[in-house]
Chains A and B, each alone.
Chain A
Amino acid sequence: MAQEKLKTRPMTMIQALRSAMDIMLERDDNVVVFGEDVGYFGGVFRCTEGLQAKYGHNRVFDAPISESGIVAAAIGMGAYGLRPVVEIQFADYFYPAADQIFSEAARVRYRSAGGYSAPLTIRMPCGGGIFGGQTHSQSPEALFTHVSGLRTVMPSNPYDAKGLLISSIENDDPVIFLEPKRLYNGPFDGHHDQPVVPWSKHPLGNVPEGYYTVPLDKASLYREGRELTVLTYGTMVYVAEVAAQEAGIEADIIDLRSLWPLDLDTILASVRKTGRCVVLHEATRTGGFGAELCSLVQEHCFYYLEAPIERVTGWDTPYPHSHEWAYFPGPKRVAEAFKRAFREA
């Protein structure tokens, strides 16, 4: 495989995302990058550092604090023929752009019978575990997966972050690209009392310097087991890993990567093998994306299931500040759910 020959170096997720945008700005003159603080300053998370200096104000620029304006301008640019990559500073602040995302970007191709399209990528840092409180911690993925016409993607490591972002930018459908900011500098398994491990110590922090892609709609079997299937994405991948170790359970940990459309085949093959399934996400439970995952597994694997499908999620409350670790679905809660999946009926 050609990709294996690429020269690699350790990158954080921030560096990997920046590298993806750098490469796509270089390869495609129609790629433009903009958002709040994205230009001169290089982004509040440094994800676009140096890009304006390298490509100029025409390609990478600062935007007013107007999420709807940013997305609307990107839709207009897409109609012109550009390929905009825009940033919403925090996923918690996408709501003012909801009409432009849901009513417009998602439907431009359908309502024009293919006459127009919206080939945009909307990057949004998401997720908790950083004492971000109510408006710097949310995981709004279910609001996007419910919308026909959108693709929703979330990487969990630098290698996937770069490859998925390049795929998303190249994709002609609108892509919501959610970046778990808790994973920007290193993997996080929910043990907040332990020192943070940097990406340089993780195999998936070794990232090719050049162009490569990770396909959309393909899940990754992050860890292979035989006793239990874990369906998850983002930060919860690492929580699942440590919880499985602590519970002494050999689990298939499936990192969905593309939330919707998703890789149903990989999910079904695993659950049919293990007969048990636990769904994990940081987002609130009711109406969360986990409900769709449970429903799909129930529908397609009913006769293979040996236990009810479990969900471990954030509570149905706004994301609190001081009670961060009581809210975040950490290894203890996850391990308990894993064990419940083996409880005698």
Chain B
Amino acid sequence: MTQTPLKFYVPEPSGRPGQATDFSYLRLQPAGAARKPPIDTIPYDTRDLALGLIRVLDEDGHAVGPWAEDGPDEATLRKGMLAMIKTRIFDARMVIAQRQKKCSFYMQCLGEEAIAIGQSLALQPGDMHFPSYRQQGLLIAQDYPLFDMMCQIFSNDKDPLKGRQLPVLYSVPDKGFFTLSGNLATQVPQAVGWAMASAIKGDTRIAAGWVGDGATAESDYQTALLFAHVYRAPVILNVINNQWAISTFQAVAGGEGITLAARGIGSNVASLRVDGNDFLAVYAASRWAANRARNNFGATLIEWVSYRAGPHSTSDDPSKYRPADDWSRFPLGDPIVRLKQHMIVRGIWSEQEHQEAQKACEADIVATQKKAESHGTMATGRTSSVATMFEDVYKEMPGHLRQQRQELGV
């Protein structure tokens, strides 16, 4: 009897350098098409939303469909717009600073600004974020000083983390921003634990965990879904599907033929798949998930469909593994351009205001950068005292660390 030889399968993206990506795999839905369920929906009943795509802004910039109701007010839209502009300019300046060797490393969130900023504005003070490294928008939307962010990036003598952490691995307790780790996905089950604690104490605050598409492959991500389900934790599990994990296409993380949101259904967690470049959809879906959590109906998984427009980091060259013009073809566009169009259509923004906001922001960031650089950069080598290297390993410094500090002569 003859048998067919087995074939080994490895997913590949449709577009490699010099080709055009076929984005038909994205399973898009038109704006307004996805329904909006009640916040007490049972998770299994969200499966259409986990496989579809929640969008509010149509091609003309109008807000349509059930998710457009109870949307952000004008002040929130302005705040969101300004925070997105600020984040993008800040990113661009820091990339240049890295090229000038003022810092060792940087990571942009180009194209993903709407997600962290939209959710940040939809949650309440006191809620807690467990971010990954590409949610600087959470801090910028909450007006955390760019000066402090820059000092961390420059590892200078005003670095709040005393030069211990790689650039962008911020920690800001006052803004509900948990200390960033280089280890992927570890923070997602921690977010669930924080939410469990809030429920244990009968608090009203909720938590949000953040992870990229690639890191959903980590075991900690599965664990987070499990604990969120088992203990009905008041948590939002955010998956930013920007299609890329460094050079690896999202299909290799398990995204081929299925959505990442669909995994939530199997874990009995309510799951939404949302246009991550649609600020209004981000805000509405985040509000829905937050209300659900705050009313003891449990966790929500949200897959944010977006595109990593920039390089993975300053150490990365995407032209080696994907088409150079990929972002211009991405069907969900640019979140800033789309919100700008919407605000202009509504008559609450104008091209001129946009230009002026960008100019003012640029000037402000340049001035802030000068001030931050006056406290040192990696190029100047002006850092926090070396003696602080031995602090905070433990609450009190043990004998062996005191001795090692003496050995170093500091």
Contacts and interface: CB of A to CB of B under 8 A. Distances in A.
B8 interface: no
Contacts, number: 138
A112 B174 CA distance: 12
Given A110-B393, A264-B399, 20 more contacts: A32-B197, A69-B227, A72-B189, A73-B193, A74-B193, A76-B192, A76-B197, A79-B178, A80-B194, A80-B201, A82-B197, A103-B182, A111-B179, A112-B161, A112-B173, A113-B171, A114-B392, A261-B394, A261-B399, A261-B400
Interface in B194-217: 194-198, 200-201, 207
Shortest 6 CB-CB distances between A and B: which pairs? A76-B193, A73-B193, A72-B189, A80-B197, A112-B179, A76-B190
Interface of A: 32, 58-59, 64, 66, 68-69, 72-77, 79-82, 96, 99-100, 103-104, 107-117, 148-149, 151, 171-173, 217, 261, 264
Nearest to B193: A76
- Looking at B172, B191, B195, B394, the one whose CB has the most chain A CB atoms below 10 A away is B394
B226 A115 contact: no
A74 B172 CA distance: 20
Contacts of B227: 64, 66, 69, 72-73
Nearest to B205: A80
A221 to B, nearest CB: 19
B362 interface: no
Given A68-B220, A99-B183, A149-B393, A76 B399 contact: no
Q: Please indicate which of the listed interface residues A113, A117, A264 has the most CB atoms of chain B within 10 Å of its own CB.
A: A113
Nearest to B170: A112
The contact size tier of chain B is 35 or more
Contacts of B223: 66, 68-69, 72
Given A73-B192, A79-B190, A104-B186, A111 B399 contact: no
Given A111-B161, A113-B161, A264-B399, A58 B190 contact: no
Contacts of A115: 160, 171-173, 179
Contacts of A109: 392-395
Interface string B162-182: 101100010111000011111
A66 B226 CA distance: 9
B220 A110 contact: no
A215 to B, nearest CB: 12
A264 B400 CA distance: 9
A108 B186 CA distance: 12
A115 to B, nearest CB: 5
A261 B193 contact: no
Contact of B189 (A69, A80, A110, A149): A69
19 contacts: A68-B189, A69-B189, A72-B227, A73-B189, A73-B192, A76-B189, A79-B128, A79-B190, A79-B194, A103-B183, A110-B393, A111-B179, A112-B179, A114-B391, A114-B392, A115-B160, A116-B171, A116-B179, A172-B395
B181 A103 contact: yes
A81 B196 CA distance: 12
Nearest to A296: B400
A56 to B, nearest CB: 10
B41 interface: no
B398 interface: yes
A342 to B, nearest CB: 31
A32 B200 CA distance: 9
A114 B161 CA distance: 9
A100 B197 contact: no
A116 to B, nearest CB: 5
Contact of A75 (B165, B172, B193, B200): B193
Contact of B130 (A76, A81, A149, A264): A76
Nearest to A61: B231
Contact of B220 (A64, A72, A111): A72
Contact of B190 (A32, A104, A114, A117): A104
Interface string B137-176: 0000000000000000000000011101100010111000
